[in-house]
Structure 1
């Protein structure tokens, strides 16, 4: 392991967060928010602050509470970051963390 690698429990949390098909789909959508959320008028710059949780909820068709729980799980795993814009929470992928995790997986397996 490298000094900057997450501990094994942290990695298990990441895999658990990605083990849900809807959370995995949300991560795919957030990879290219301009493409996947083009039907929704942005509240703020998607490249800077990400996608409004209400847009994620609308696209997924799930209850707001379910989507909020899913996003909290992804955030705890370090896969997304949240930013408040007024009363709205926006999410974007943490690309640095994802690159770090890809390196850990590459070295481990």
Structure 2
């Protein structure tokens, strides 16, 4: 775990919002076609719609969160779905608690 990289990924309010929204996707996003139960996460298109930002910005933000190991990406055809990596988020919180 790289605490510095995770902190960098969390240093933007929109990326924090993305993680918050993905915590309860059924409350924050519309029903999806390929993964209606959100088991593989939320389609990038829905995340982009919610942020109101450009596709390239949202993709960059999601990539940062994924590289920090806070998100897991799953492909379905041409669509990518993202969900939280709960075990890594918990490890991060525990590490902060133990070390700081």
The root-mean-square deviation of aligned C-alpha atoms, in Å, is 1.0
Partners of 2:98 and 2:79 lie apart in 1 by: 38
Q: TM-score, normalised by structure 1?
A: 0.87
Contact persistence 1:33–1:46 (CA under 8 A) = no
Gap runs ≥5 in structure 2: none
Partners of 1:74 and 1:46 lie apart in 2 by: 22
Gap runs ≥5 in structure 1: 1-5
1:86 corresponds in structure 2 to: 77
Moved beyond 6 Å, runs of 4+? none
Residue 16 of structure 1 pairs with residue 8 of structure 2: yes
1:75 to 66, 76, 79: 66
Residue 58 of structure 1 pairs with residue 76 of structure 2: no
Q: TM-score, normalised by structure 2?
A: 0.94
Residue 42 of structure 1 pairs with residue 32 of structure 2: yes
- Aligned residue pairs total 99
Structure 1's 11 and 46: CA in aligned 2 closer, same or farther, altered over 3 A?
farther
